[in-house]
Structure 1
């Protein structure tokens, strides 16, 4: 795996979903927020939790556990929202990802990252950039841009834009 070709660093924010350790390239991470109340958006996918207010902007929040088929987790003191930057139709957009807890920021050299293994035709690994090997554990490195299809991302941002417009119209935003 060569991040240099992709214009990415070899630094990753690591986080937990259930007992598994995942990583996001730090270049796509804007900030990490404590868990806060989320305003539900009607008629959205199960993984779309709703929107939160980040400095006056409605930011959609998705539950990565649900998106990955792990079911909903219990909210704990470690539960947090990672704000990531994505490109949708060549425009920059931000989104929150609910995770069980953030671990640390790590440098993982390219030689310690293997390509995602082929897990059969029923398991989609296109959103896995690679598997980082750290001493006694693995880090599943995600390509956050590929976790959601362009259609899903467009739908998520459209719904959050609707909520934002409605809150401005009602004077609550």
Structure 2
């Protein structure tokens, strides 16, 4: 399982949970606008978001993680990420309830992913940082998106490029 590295992370919230992604993967953070729907996509794929003239597949991270969907608010954001996969980089928008900050986590702050006995639940966690009153889950986006997810999302992006 991949381990989290010390460095800068963008922290964001889904409900009461706080997650973080490496800042190097975050291309930009957009105010939420409903993506253009695409038929026959996975349930968590909301559609395409126009990012500087390119259609970027946009996913509801809540649904992908098995959480209940919620209506967007004024705080809802789309994190546009460039996620390295085995053979390419996938541009993906992830909807978050809110984005908090860019912060630095040192190696001694990052605890290994907890073994909770159910592989799929902790497989996308590369580490956990304990803070007063809560935990920050360092998300491994490459692992969160299975190879079939990545292929599916890339195909939607490829269709937009061809149009």
What is the TM-score with the length of structure 2 in the denominator?
0.92
Q: Pick one of 115, 121, 124 that aligns with 1:124.
A: 121
Q: Pick one of 20, 28, 33 that aligns with 1:31.
A: 28
Q: Give the structure 1 partner of residue 9 of structure 2.
A: 12
Unaligned runs of 5+ in 1: 4-8, 169-173
- The CA deviation string for residues 3-34 of structure 1, in whole angstroms up to 9 with x for no partner, is 2xxxxx51110000011110001111111000
Unaligned runs of 5+ in 2: none
**Cα drift, residue 64 of structure 1:** 0.2
Q: Pick one of 131, 138, 143 that aligns with 1:141.
A: 138
- The CA deviation string for residues 78-118 of structure 1, in whole angstroms up to 9 with x for no partner, is 00100111123421221100010001111111111111111
Count of matched residue pairs? 161
Q: Pick one of 83, 90, 96 that aligns with 1:99.
A: 96
Q: Which structure is larger by alpha-carbon Rg, 1 or 2?
A: 1
- The CA deviation string for residues 26-58 of structure 1, in whole angstroms up to 9 with x for no partner, is 111111000012111101111010101111111
Does structure 1 retain, via aligned residues, the 8 Å contact 2:4–2:110?
no
**Cα drift, residue 65 of structure 1:** 0.3
Rate the CA distance shift 1:89–1:114 in 2: closer, same or farther, 3 A. Answer: closer
**Cα drift, residue 136 of structure 1:** 2.7
Deviates more, 1:33-42 or 1:120-129: 120-129
Q: Give the structure 2 partner of residue 83 of structure 1.
A: 80
Does structure 2 retain, via aligned residues, the 8 Å contact 1:41–1:163?
no
> Aligned partners of 2:98 and 2:8: how far apart in 1?
18
Does structure 2 retain, via aligned residues, the 8 Å contact 1:12–1:23?
yes
SS of equivalent residue, structure 2 residue 40: coil
- The CA deviation string for residues 105-153 of structure 1, in whole angstroms up to 9 with x for no partner, is 1111111111111112365311101111123321001011111112211
Instruction: State the Cα RMSD in Å.
Output: 1.5
SS of equivalent residue, structure 2 residue 121: coil
